[in-house]
Amino acid sequence: MAGIYIHIPFCKKACHYCDFHFSTSSLYKEDMIAALKKEIILRKKYTEQARIETIYFGGGTPSLLNAGELESLTGIISDNFPLADNPEITLEANPDDLDPQKVKALRQTMINRFSIGVQSFFEEDLRWMNRAHTVAEAESAIKRVQDAGFENITADLIYGFPLLDDEKWKHNIRQLLEMQIPHISSYSMTVEPKTALAAFIRKGVQPPMSESRSARQFNILMDELESGGFEHYEISNFSKPGWHSRHNSNYWEGVPYLGIGPSAHSFNGESRQWNMANNPKYIRSIFAGDIPAETEYLSLENRINEYIMTSLRTRKGMNPRVLNSLSPDYAEEINQALEPFFKKGWITNRDQSVILTREGKLFADHIASGLFVESGE
């Protein structure tokens, strides 16, 4: 199996915290869609004709595309790649794009999963983030999609920023629970160097993020969602049983995927590729028949470290047998490095795998970096 990610690099507004590749100008939209289709054809052999289990439209704001444009892209994929039975096809969407006509039209496409960027149910938070939608639009968009018959829905929430006190945070979580959303992705606000938020903090216009607030609200998130019957199957992802994201789960489990569009990444098990993050140059290159990508071939150490990082983030955990199959010597080194984290109570053994404890989830990146191996060369 394999997956395909399609990056749609357009947004109405620039969220203050976002550092993904996008443009607020739709000047190149028609050419971009044509280039995406051409790249799909040019890359048809990348996954070695493995069956495509998932397609994910990300961005940017892919819900800016109309139903016909989205259907034309999935059509090109189905013409050039073998699709698995019942593939998961996700559309990231901003609430303000999901008007009644749009949702009705999307019902006639292959889209069968929505990822809706709610972020908060408080107007002051949305203004602080520079989001394009309102609270009313978020609530109505979710209900509209549900009423149209879409069941597979995830919503995003952000925590750990200065305006968000604990009571507001509980309200945000409980609002999604009341709306019977089966999957919730939630992320701590991070400050990326080239964002407006980073500039505001440097200038003293905004206070820095608080690690203690973020940790406290992460604990609240786990409490609320686990009480609501959700499985915490990856650090930032929770779902009702049977509603895991197949696309993202495949990322964490090392399944190959193809990235289409400017800035999109691809992985085939042996190497990574990433396309240039420049819309006009990407379009010109694709029209000339060239893939504007850089390639990194993964060393043994790269593969081991990537497995450590991704597996520890999931409820399945890190399996010593996988490490041993990659390198018995490194597996022994990692086993020794685990001991301090066992003693701190940050990790434990379950089903022959090493998993993070509740406390350990607060230190996931620190634990992973402490287990990374380095080449002896």
Q: Residue 375 has what pLDDT?
A: 80
CATH class of 300-371: mainly alpha
How far is 278 from 289, CA to CA, in rounded Å?
16
Of 30, 32, 44, nearest to 7 by C-alpha is 32
How far is 272 from 294, CA to CA, in rounded Å?
8
Residue that has been written with the tokens 């399609």 in this structure: 6
The residues with which 89 forms a beta bridge, in sequence order, are: 55
Those residues of the chain that have pLDDT short of 70 are 376-377
Answer yes or no: same fold for 2-252 and 300-371: no
Residues 6+ apart with CB under 8 A from 241: 229, 231
Q: Residue 26 has what pLDDT?
A: 87
Q: Residue 27 has what pLDDT?
A: 87
Q: Residue 376 has what pLDDT?
A: 61
Q: Residue 63 has what pLDDT?
A: 98
What residues does each domain of the chain span?
A: 2-252, 300-371
Q: Quick one: tokens of 277?
A: 């993050």
CATH for 2-252 is 3.20.20.70
Q: Quick one: tokens of 240?
A: 């009702």
